[in-house]
Amino acid sequence: MNQAKCLLSIAFFGAIGGCLRYFIGIAFPFMGTIVVNLLGCFLLGFLTFLWLNFHTVASWLSLGLGTGFVGSFTTFSGFCLDNVKLLLAHQMFTAAGYICLSVVGGWLAAKLGMTVGIYVGQRLQLGKDR
């Protein structure tokens, strides 16, 4: 595996993911972090299970999309900071809901992504077999 190709792929897709996260944060001022994290969970589940089960993908592309795009698109630090802000504002119920929605929603989004990835892969496989 060519390390330079992998690093360039991570940098390229990371720049796109970071910019997209910024624009989603503008579009959804408070909910932006939840939106990107749930979408990221879905995307990583989808891509992982589609590629693992049905397609061979070049490692530079897998690293670029997984580590680069999804890694820069999602934000654990933003999730934590949002919770600290809510706790400092004495919004305990909102903070608890935010944590539950993020964790449970993230798990469900990853599971949905996995399910969709397997479904799409099976459909693509059926198309190849005809």
Domain boundaries, the chain: 3-125
Residue 73 · residue 39 · CB < 8 Å: yes
56-102 pLDDT tens trace: 788 899 899 999 999 999 989 889 999 999 999 999 999 999 999 99
pTM, two decimals, is: 0.86
User: From the annotation, which residues make up the binding site?
Assistant: 71, 74
For Cα atoms 124, 42, 28, give the angle at the middle one, nearest 5 degrees: 130
Sequential DSSP letters for 11-32 = HHHHHHHHHHHHHHHHHSTTTH
**Token digits of residue 40:** 């990221």
User: From the annotation, which residues make up the binding site for Na(+)?
Assistant: 71, 74
